[in-house]
Structure 1
Amino acid sequence: MPPLDLTADEVLTTTRAVRKRLDLNRPVERELIEECLELATQAPTGRNRQRWDFVLVTDPEKRAALANLYRLGLARPRQQVVRDGVNRGDLVRGQRIADSAQYLYDHLHEVPVLLVPCIRVQGRHENGSHVGQANTWGSILPAVWQFMLAARSRGLGTAWTTPHLHYEKEAAELLGIPYETVLQTALIPLAHTIGTDFRPGPRVEAKEIAHWDAW
């Protein structure tokens, strides 16, 4: 399958979190995934150490078990969203996101591929220094985002999710991931999309967040 006819700017601005428009009935060709991985490994990484690993889950039973850990993670207590002063447009968008998230909650086990990006570390370091944490996350996030961009350009949809990390150890046991030396960073559904006509999302204008020479 050839890449979509999209410019680099179009890929960057239309790579969305896809949930409802994931095609649950169409298998994802392995060669497409491998192409995305090849592009992901061109991402920058701290000290060029390339400590990443990508666990691709296609087995139906393991997908179902991983989806259950995701659901358990979402069931943990969460901070109450404050709605005072929120305009109607934001509330409508919030409801759409909630509906989309509910759909993924209900159907995650049906998604053809679940991707768990990981990074190798020297022991667990949840309480590590700010610099160390920045280096670790900065060494995996660019590669994962590059994978997601590559997926978009090939008609595949993705979404970054993290609830299963509440049960990272259980996921490690399920997938044979060395828990003490490998950090899971996300759980990303991967599937062909239903249609490819995605648009840029609403965002704060760049001029409102730019600080020149001082805050």
Structure 2
Amino acid sequence: MTTFDTPFDTAETDRLLTTTRSVRRRLDLTRPVPKAVIEEALEIAVQAPTANDQQNWRWLVVTEQDVKDQLAELFDISWQFHQKEVWTGAGRRRNVPQARRNNASAAALAESIAKVPVLVIPCVLGRPPDIGAIDAQWGADPRVRTGRAEHGEAVEGVRIGAMRASNFYGSIFPAIWSFQLALRSRGLGSTISCMHLPFERQVGNLLGIPAGVTQICMVPVAYTVGTDFRPAKRHAARERTCWERWHA
């Protein structure tokens, strides 16, 4: 009998959480990924928290080679522009070994994206909030003006647009991360890429995604070459954590 009130094996869950890497160069481009595995991982993903229980995510899974070839062409254009505008202007960061490795890893994905067995595009129904327009509407609301008059500084400068944007993206990224964790636990690797988004309209036309739906990113999925992933080098959390008040 299955029970869900027993403690987790924290050593195993911590290993999963600390070794789920962005996998680009170690994707097995030759091994097929069964449809059932993707479906299992997505069922786990949709258990993630979502603002107001909207569950307004959608998942578009691409496996057809001719479609992946077309996506790869757009991906490459964005990657070349990114290289020119971002990496070549990165100055001293280009000489940091980790930065060079990350750049080489991203370049390898750009070269092989058409060969990745599965490309998943997480989407959200609706369009991203216009923070400026929402703030303007908020500030013009008579209730806000009244509150400003009555409470002065307590209301002055209050905005709501950033909260709406946080809700919009915060309702999908926990599910994307859960998807990646579920893949990792099944021996698959993934990464989050946004290289196709400059061509969101063209990709939407190619895949039949309505204009009112927002494509959030692309997640290439494949089995991994080897499983010996380790925790990344990170600054200790205690070095970047403030208690009670912000301090440098």
> TM-score, normalising length from structure 2?
0.78
C-alpha distance in 2 between matches for 1:146 and 1:78: 32
Cα offset for 1:78? 2.4
Quick one: distance in 1 between partners of 2:225 and 2:16? 17
Query: Tell me, what secondary structure is at the counterpart of 1:7?
Result: helix
1:82 offset after TM fit, Å?
2.9
Shift of 1:207: 0.9
Cα distance in 1 for partners of 2:15, 2:128 equals 37
The structure with the largest helix share of the pair is: 2
4+ residue stretches of structure 1 with deviation over 4 A?
Answer: none
Answer yes or no: is the 8 Å Cα contact 2:71–2:196 preserved in 1. Answer: yes
171, 175, 180: which one aligns with 2:203? 171
What is the aligned length?
203
- Match for 2:240 among 194, 209, 213? 209
- 1:187-206 mapped onto 2 (5 Å cutoff): 187-206=218-237
Structure 2 residue corresponding to 1:52, chosen from 50, 57, 71 = 57
From 29, 36, 41, the equivalent of 1:36 is 41
Q: Which runs of 5+ in 2 are unaligned?
A: 1-10, 132-160
Using the TM superposition, give the Cα deviation of residue 209 of structure 1 relative to its aligned residue in structure 2, in angstroms. Answer: 1.0
* Structure 2 residue corresponding to 1:78, chosen from 75, 82, 85: 85
Residues 171 and 126 from structure 1, CA distance in 2 versus in 1: closer, same or farther, beyond 3 angstroms? farther
Amino-acid identity (%): 41
After superposition, where does 1:1-215 map in structure 2 within 5 Å? Answer: 7-76=12-81, 78-79=85-86, 80-83=89-92, 91-121=96-126, 124-125=127-128, 127-128=130-131, 129-179=161-211, 181-215=212-246
Q: Is the Cα contact below 8 Å between 2:128 and 2:214 reproduced in 1?
A: no
Which structure would you say has the larger Rg?
2
Q: Give the counterpart letter for 1:75 in structure 2.
A: Q
1:103-133 superposed Cα distances (whole Å, 9 cap, x missing partner): 1111100000001000111xx3463321211
Give, in whole Å, the separation in 1 of the partners of 2:223 and 2:60. Answer: 19
Q: Any unmatched runs of 5+ in structure 1?
A: 1-5
Counterpart of 1:55 in structure 2: which amino acid?
Answer: L
1:69 Cα deviation from its structure 2 partner: 1.4
Classify the secondary structure of the residue corresponding to 2:196.
helix
Report the Cα distance in structure 2 between the residues aligned to 1:178 and 1:170, rounded to whole angstroms: 11
**AA at the equivalent of 1:207:** R
Q: What RMSD, in angstroms, separates the aligned Cα atoms of the two structures?
A: 1.6
Other-structure match for 1:3: none
* Displacement after TM superposition at 1:87 (Å): 10
Structure 2: distance between partners of 1:156 and 1:14:
12
Secondary structure (helix, strand or coil) at the match of 1:19 reads: coil
Q: C-alpha separation between the residues in 1 aligned to 2:166 and 2:244?
A: 23
